[in-house]
Amino acid sequence: MSELNILEQYKNLQRSGTLDELEALKKTNKDLERIISDISKLIQFTDIDKMFDFMISKFLDYFIPEYLTFLIKPPRTSSLRGYCFHQLKFIDEKLPHKYYDALKSFFEIEQTNIKPFYFFDEVKEKIGDKKFDNDFLSKKPYLIIPLTGIGGVYGIAILSKKIIGGDYTKEELQYVERMFSVLAVTIQNGLHYETSIRDPKTGLFTYDYFLTRLKENILYASRYKHFSGLIMLDIDHFKKFNDTYGHLAGDRVLETLAETLVETVRGSDCVARFGGEEFSILIQECNPETLFITAERIRKAVEKIELYEGDEKLSITISCGACMITDMIGLSPKYLIKKADQALYYSKQNGRNQSNVFSMGLLDKICMLKEANKLP
């Protein structure tokens, strides 16, 4: 075939629009491949914070909304979680619960006809302006996205307009639709996983999950020589407290104490409800001195808790016992818990509202060597 004929055929294809259609198909295929790649990575996460980190990194490749928030209601709770971002940077800010309720009522009206996303003007027109105050409207909400799973809508995402680039393009809206439909499933899976490892009353980790983390810390200490600590604590005279003020007041104490413990330690530390009024905490990267300082900081923070039963101010104190997690041969979760409990018992027998760290001596080392080597 001559070059002239080839050129003529190319011009014919160009005039007919076939080449433009081919380029459009190539672009569509490229976009689909990118979305499939993003989805395949997203579904690997079980931690909700990491899901959001991943989504933020992907948005940076496409667009930057001025404001983005996720309002999520975990199963079997009355609490509402809020994750807010300004120009895709996390900010410590929460929208009032009433806005979630207002938007949720809109989706209840929609029922089985819920769409992947809505423009805010459409939502406002159906449920009225009075549902939204200036603190909400100042965020310039533009897209309202229901997070739907088993049982219906359990969360809502709100996107403002982009800071550059005008309105969302058709391709950007398609990306939002596809990614958020998968994100809704992964978040719900993450919430159910959290539920399986969290105590329903306090929101702290469960005993079983704590034991898993304790085993990991023992192995980590043995392999990398990075030591951590175990703190066991319980509420002083808690039975008397329950008998005097009732179990509902006792539940408030447990919940408030749990919040204080989480606020007092680092995010990398693990706080668990060990059972009843007893709690356990894994303290990362510490030595005996810093472990004691941490236990005392926790104890003093609990002393400052203010609770009221009617007009009566209630005071709470705790006793703490701790031990180090080192590379000592034969160390086991059972042995560590036993030694931390001994330190806790010493604190309670010697006046309560104090902390003590158990120091493992030669006899402990011999006992663990026997266990490790199965000596007679």
CA–CA gap between residue 208 and residue 46 (Å, rounded): 18
Give, for 334, the enclosing helix (H) or strand (E): helix 333-349
Number of CB atoms found within 10 A of residue 302's CB: 22
One-letter identity of residue 203: G
Q: How far apart are CA 316 and CA 302, in angstroms?
A: 7
User: Collapsing DSSP states into helix, strand and coil, what is residue 230?
Assistant: strand
User: Distance from CA of residue 337 to its chain's centroid?
Assistant: 27
Whose tokens are 């393009």? That residue is 169
**Residues involved in catalysis:** 277
Instruction: From residue 176, give the alpha-carbon distance in Å to each of 108, 118, 156, 162, 214.
Output: 22, 11, 13, 13, 40
C-alpha 107/C-alpha 101 separation (Å) is 10
For the record, the structure tokens of 238 come out as 């808690």
The residue written with tokens 């980790």 in the block is 205
Q: Work out the number of other CB atoms within 10 angstroms of the CB of residue 89.
A: 10
Using the CB atoms, write b or e for 281-290: b if 16+ within 10 Å: bbbbebebee
For 252: left if phi > 0, alpha if psi spans -120 to 50, otherwise beta; the answer is alpha
Distances (CA, A) of 373 to 34, 217, 363: 54, 21, 15
